[in-house]
Amino acid sequence: MRGIIFDLDDTLYRRADFVRSGFEAIARYLAHSWRREQDAVFASLMAAHTNGWEGREFQALCEAHRLPQGLVPTLISVFRTHTPSVVLPVDVRTTLQQLRQSGWRLVVLTNGDPEVQRRKVTALGIEALVDGVVFAEAHATGGKPDPAAFQAALGCMRLSPSRCICVGDDPLCDIEGARRLGMRTIQTTAYKKCGSPSGNADAVVASMIEVPACAQLLLSETADAA
């Protein structure tokens, strides 16, 4: 048997789509509860996000629209609990289906608040395409790259590290974390904002369509080396 552990955010879909969905939910909330102009609120959030205020968008929003800073925790709650408007890309769906038809076991291993991540998984319809979804922070404080998170994913597939590939975008959390347990790794760059791929990945792909052939080659090399 053989398996692949997939990261979620910026690997199977573009995380920026989730952020945009959350900002839209906040704009609707403020339009209804605080009588602010919905389009203007959304524009302010997007401007803050792209102009150096990432992580502090809600504080910038309150300042720009004369809202109390004490409202920030409520806005955070709206963002985290909204039903995401996100869609799994066609090439990703096709690739996951192809891999399962070829006998690969597939697990998604994702960092982040489990309840937030679960909403993303549900909205994307991923559970029907894989053998399991593992929320890393339910198994290790901070999630990946802690070995316990990867061991939980391997346990879900009942596979050893030598029979598994890890696919993700993050050089530390995905690539280095998996390598520490002896897994071969593939880094995805389809949704990277900037920067160069990690030199530690066994392979780098620009599209999910490249993963099946690449994963097959890496496991073949592992078998030959053994």
Q: Which residue is associated with the tokens 């039903």?
A: 83
This prediction has a pTM of 0.94
Helix (H, G, I), strand (E, B) or coil at 11: coil
Greater confidence (223 vs 36) lies with 36
Q: Domain limits of the chain?
A: 2-14+87-225, 16-81
Which pLDDT does position 26 carry in this prediction?
Answer: 98
Q: Which tens digits make up the pLDDT trace of 108-120?
A: 999 999 999 999 9
φ, ψ of residue 150 in degrees (nearest 5):
-70, -35
Which pLDDT does position 162 carry in this prediction?
Answer: 95
User: Domain 2-14+87-225 adopts which CATH fold?
Assistant: Rossmann fold (3.40.50)
Find out whether 3 and 157 touch, Cβ atoms under 8 Å. Answer: yes
HSE-CB at 196 with a 13 A cutoff on CA atoms is 3
Rounded CA gap, 153 and 150, in Å? Answer: 5
CA angle 50, 51, 53 (to 5 degrees): 90
**Rounded average pLDDT over 5-16:** 97
Q: Which tens digits make up the pLDDT trace of 75-116?
A: 999 999 999 999 999 999 999 999 999 999 999 999 999 999
**Rounded average pLDDT over 214-226:** 80
Query: Would you tell me how many other CB atoms lie within 10 Å of the CB of residue 172?
Result: 11
